[in-house]
Amino acid sequence: MNRNHSLHTTPRILVCGPNPSWQKTLPFDEFRPGGINRACERDCRASGKGVNFARAVRTWGTAVPVVFQFTGGVNGRKIEAWLQREGIDSVSRSIADETRCCTTVLCRKCASMTELIEPSPTVTPDDVKSLKECILTALPDADALALCGTLPKGPLEGFYAGIAADAVRAGKPVLMDSVEHFDETLAAGVQYLKINSDELLKVAGTSGSDDPEAAALRLMDRFPLRCAAITDGPGRAFIAGQDAVHRIFIPPLSGVCNPIGAGDVCSGVMLSELLAGTDPLNAFTTGIAAACASCLSQYAADFDRAEALGIRDRMRIEALASGFRN
């Protein structure tokens, strides 16, 4: 078990991101599928939803993240070293399998992005037990738990749900940014859900033509959520709370470069704001603004706080419904 630790003040967020990646970003002046393409440059760094979430929390600066993850092989060691370089605390369970590498291909001419994702590694029962024990040991000194992203291959049934249930029993708020083992994890007491509209329609058991806002309301009725925050493309998002639904209109952005990690930024900033006492609607809106700012950078989950606040000032919020929940 590898640990990077430094002294931090509270609030402290435990970030369960069990499936990190070593991220390679290759920008091209023009990318031609099927042809020979030479990148203008190359950037490599730690990534994955948990890492990107933690990076956003650290950039926002009002909370301290600690990432819990499985890491293996050369890529795993690179991730651990990179997080230490960034000053992000991590607890990594070393596994025999190699951590995946993901490659982002950016075409500057058409402002497009293509993501190539390697298969996830496989973990053993001992790996799972060890990482879970580390998270549960850290819970008493934490202020919140975030469940981020996909799970690697292996015996992970009940992994997210069990950790969420333990956090709820300990009085810690839980945010979920994942659709893994969805129903059982939400039923364990997750208070805050942040996913995108495609994921929502998939897990809500609805057709692609269904209204995502209606699907979010059904989730609010089925599970003990305080809110379901849904991103829905570059122009809008919405949030279903305990007594209202609000739609958030996002201003047009110029210079969009790389959307990878934007959703993770939104989640990280949202939970940071919630811990600072911000209500869910405004916490989510601020998270979206930070996500927009991150799209303007070539690198995943990289953004400027002041730029995010400027975008936040240009966003518009509309109330859609109220009184739907007893």
Tokens of 279: 């209500």
Rounded CA separation 108/93 (Å): 38
Quick one: average pLDDT of 253-262?
90
Rounded CA separation 214/262 (Å): 24
Tokens of 118: 């390697």
Nearest to 117 by CA among 47, 30, 38: 47
Cβ-proximal residues to 93 (8 Å cutoff; 6+ apart), any chain: 1, 69, 70, 71, 123, 127, 130, 131, 134
CA 323 to chain centroid: 30
Contact 224, 252 (CB under 8 A): no
Q: Which domains are seen in the chain, by residue range?
A: 2-322 (3.40.1190.20)
Higher-confidence residue of 298 and 6: namely: 298
Of the pLDDT bands very low, low, confident and very high (cuts 50, 70, 90), residue 206 is: low
Q: What percent of the chain has pLDDT over 70?
A: 94
The pLDDT value given to residue 68: 98
Its pTM stands at: 0.93
Q: Return the SS3 of 90.
A: strand
Of the pLDDT bands very low, low, confident and very high (cuts 50, 70, 90), residue 7 is: very low
Model pLDDT for residues 216-251, shown as the tens digit of each residue: 988 999 999 999 999 988 889 999 998 789 999 999
Beta bridge partners of 240: 228, 245
The pLDDT value given to residue 4: 53
Burial of 318 (0-12, 13-18, 19+ CB in 10 A): exposed
Rounded CA separation 255/320 (Å): 31
Model pLDDT for residues 127-151, shown as the tens digit of each residue: 999 999 999 999 999 999 999 999 9
Where do runs of H (alpha helix) occur along the chain? 49-60, 73-86, 125-138, 159-169, 182-187, 197-203, 212-222, 262-275, 280-295, 305-313
Burial of 323 (0-12, 13-18, 19+ CB in 10 A): exposed
The pLDDT value given to residue 318: 95
Whether 3 has a pLDDT exceeding 90, the answer reads no
In eight-state DSSP terms, residue 19 is: S
The pLDDT value given to residue 230: 96
The pLDDT value given to residue 242: 81
Model pLDDT for residues 268-288, shown as the tens digit of each residue: 999 999 999 999 999 999 999
Rounded CA separation 102/87 (Å): 22
